[in-house]
Amino acid sequence: MRIFRTTINGRIALACEVDGRLVALGAVPDALAGLSGSLPFDPEAALDGADLGPVADAALLAPIVPTKVVAIGLNYQDHIDESGMAAPECPLVFAKFTTSVIGPADPIVIDRAVTNRVDWEVELGVVIARPMRRVAEDVALDHVAGYTAANDVSARDVQFGDGQWVRGKSLDTFCPLGPCLVTADEFGDPQAKGLWTRVNGETMQASSTSKMVFGVAQLLAFCSNSFTLDPGDVVLTGTPWGCGEFMNPVRSLQDGDIVETEVEGIGTIVSPVRDFRID
């Protein structure tokens, strides 16, 4: 099942996709019942079963309102190589504040008083279905509700200048999610999906989740043995090669750019880039 959150006359509706169209849901599907708090919508926004029109025409919101965003750094060897950093011996975990989350068509807004080197990172996002604490790797995927696409937007000058990553990864609008949540049963093997980033139509990243250093099950088990993963948490699983910061010359996002981040089987986030201005 492909689950979307959309707006109808200013109210939030929950819908599933059927043949390219959105069909309103009157309740959170049973398979996702544990995520009710992270799938907020107005049940009166649209009648259950109502045709809400083509997905392509919908005003989409982030498909999930995360309880927390757990992110993984340096999880593709080609990205480790391009960054010149040492390969981690175990998953490198950091956090993105939930205030950075935006929808799949919302603008990435850059405050030039804070950062001038803003980068893209396509990632597979994993949505947790039920509490995970000290869960073994062989059953970790049983705790997954579904998957979404993410762009781990990064202020590189802040990230490396601070010496830790949270602020540079958590600026407002720096976590686009979407366009939908694909349930685990429909998504299939999370280690066999293509990933792409395009900036103004030019392909910057093209890889596969098969190239992760630590697979999804390993990441979830590792995290759950350090801290509890709750229903509605989103785990971002790392990005492959092709980040602008490590190109020669360095490429950073500019006002007016269009960034597309795509995950096979989920869809594409299309983010216009805007410099922050006080009107």
pLDDT at residue number 87: 87
152 Cβ contact list (under 8 Å, min separation 6): 71, 96, 121, 123, 169, 174, 175, 236, 239
pLDDT at residue number 228: 98
Give the CA dihedral 205, 208, 213, 217, nearest 10 degrees: 130
Q: What's the average model confidence in pLDDT over 244-265?
A: 97
Q: What's the average model confidence in pLDDT over 80-85?
A: 89
246, 235 Cβ separation under 8 angstroms: no
pLDDT band at 278 (very low <50, low <70, confident <90, very high): confident
pLDDT at residue number 13: 97
pLDDT over threshold 80, residue 279: no
pLDDT over threshold 80, residue 245: yes
The pLDDT mean for the chain works out to 97
C-alpha of 97 from chain center: 13
pLDDT at residue number 16: 97
Burial class (CB in 10 A: 0-12, 13-18, 19+), 86: exposed
pLDDT per residue over 9-52, tens digit each? 999 999 999 999 999 999 999 989 999 999 999 998 999 999 99
pLDDT at residue number 33: 92
What single letter denotes the amino acid at residue 115?
A: T
Q: Which domains does the chain have, with CATH numbers?
A: 2-57 (no CATH), 69-275 (3.90.850.10)
91, 222 Cβ separation under 8 angstroms: yes
Helix (H, G, I), strand (E, B) or coil at 150: strand
Task: Tell me which residue has tokens 């090669």.
Answer: 241
pLDDT at residue number 152: 98
Q: What's the average model confidence in pLDDT over 170-199?
A: 98
Q: In terms of DSSP bridges, do strands 122-128 and 144-151 run parallel, antiparallel, or are they unpaired?
A: antiparallel
Q: CA torsion sign, 131 to 221 to 242 to 174?
A: positive
What single letter denotes the amino acid at residue 82?
A: E
pLDDT over threshold 80, residue 53: yes
Looking from the CA of 251 toward its CB, the CA atoms found within 13 Å total: 14
175, 102 Cβ separation under 8 angstroms: yes
pLDDT band at 178 (very low <50, low <70, confident <90, very high): very high
How far is the C-alpha of 131 from the C-alpha of 88, rounded, in Å? Answer: 27
pLDDT per residue over 58-81, tens digit each? 999 999 999 999 999 999 998 999
208, 192 Cβ separation under 8 angstroms: yes
Which spans in the chain are helix H? Answer: 77-83, 156-162, 166-169, 184-187, 216-224
pLDDT band at 85 (very low <50, low <70, confident <90, very high): confident
